[in-house]
Amino acid sequence: MRSTPSITNALTIDVEDYFQVSAFAPYIERSEWDLRECRVERNVERILALLQETHTQATFFTLGWIAERYPALVRRIVDGGHELASHGYGHERVSDLSELAFFSDIHRAKSLLEDIAGVRVQGYRAPSFSIGAGNLWALDTLQRAGYRYSSSIYPIRHDHYGMPDAPRFAHQVRDGLIEVPPTTLRMFNRNLPSSGGGYFRLFPYALSRWMLREVHRQDGSPAVFYFHPWEMDEGQPRVPGIGVKTRFRHYVNIGRMEQRLGHLLRDFHWGRMDHIFLSPHTKEVARG
């Protein structure tokens, strides 16, 4: 039985391959990407099959680099009734880019995705949630590039990203542009991550389910959940020489991910970011 049927949550997938993860950047040169075994296509196909089986629609934040090499996969995402959104072109952290380079990256990705799929791309998610207090100029750049929403500011404290004082729910950040942060649960006077990624693999599923239900109970707001195709791929090549913390974060409980996702999709009601947050029927986007 699904929890809180009156609330439709946003299911989001960041479409990138295992060798493009930001934590692997010191170990894998960008020039090596084309030499690596690319596994994203088979993993996205598994996700599409799971979504079809559970009658779920989702938003796919897709790298332009991936779309350029697998245009048929991009079209299958759209043909499945899902939203196509941008993850930028080359999975570069916004915090590492100049304003000009960032505009070039997001404009290139948006144009490429729209040309391949024949649909309007309205949403963007920064690699590694790399928009924060030090580069809020990026929101002006997203507005100038024609995006309508971003999901790039994670209101938590983390060693690689985060803006813990940012609003926890969808809110307007520029004229015509809203920010829709990943979900957090407010407890112990801090924001606890409750929206997927490595936390979802690390914690027991019952805890993740409880946290989402608490967000519904306390705040009455939709959750925004995210994961990556490589997180359900036990067969991905292991990257040698990486640190203990990086190895743990990347590989922990990958073998349990698909089963947990199945439970998640059946325990809650899910939909697309644009349908939830850009619909003319949406009553409220300005929340703190």
User: Can you list the positions of beta strands (E) in the chain?
Assistant: 8-15, 59-62, 83-86, 123-124, 149-150, 171-174, 177-179, 184-187, 190-193, 224-227, 269-271
- Residues 235-262 have pLDDT tens digits of 999 999 999 999 999 999 999 999 999 9
- Residues 207-238 have pLDDT tens digits of 999 999 999 999 999 999 999 999 999 999 99
Nearest to 88 by CA among 113, 116, 59, 69: 113
| pTM, rounded to two decimals | 0.94
Identify the three-state secondary structure at position 178: strand
Q: Are residues 265 and 56 in contact, defined by beta-carbon separation less than 8 angstroms?
A: yes
Q: Are residues 8 and 269 in contact, defined by beta-carbon separation less than 8 angstroms?
A: yes
- Residues 46-95 have pLDDT tens digits of 999 999 999 999 999 999 999 999 999 999 999 999 999 999 999 999 99
Nearest to 196 by CA among 168, 153, 227, 163: 227
Rounded to whole angstroms, the Cα distance separating 123 from 144 reads 13
pLDDT over 70, % of the chain: 94
Domain range annotation of the chain: 8-277
**At the topology level of CATH, where does 8-277 sit?**
TIM Barrel (3.20.20)
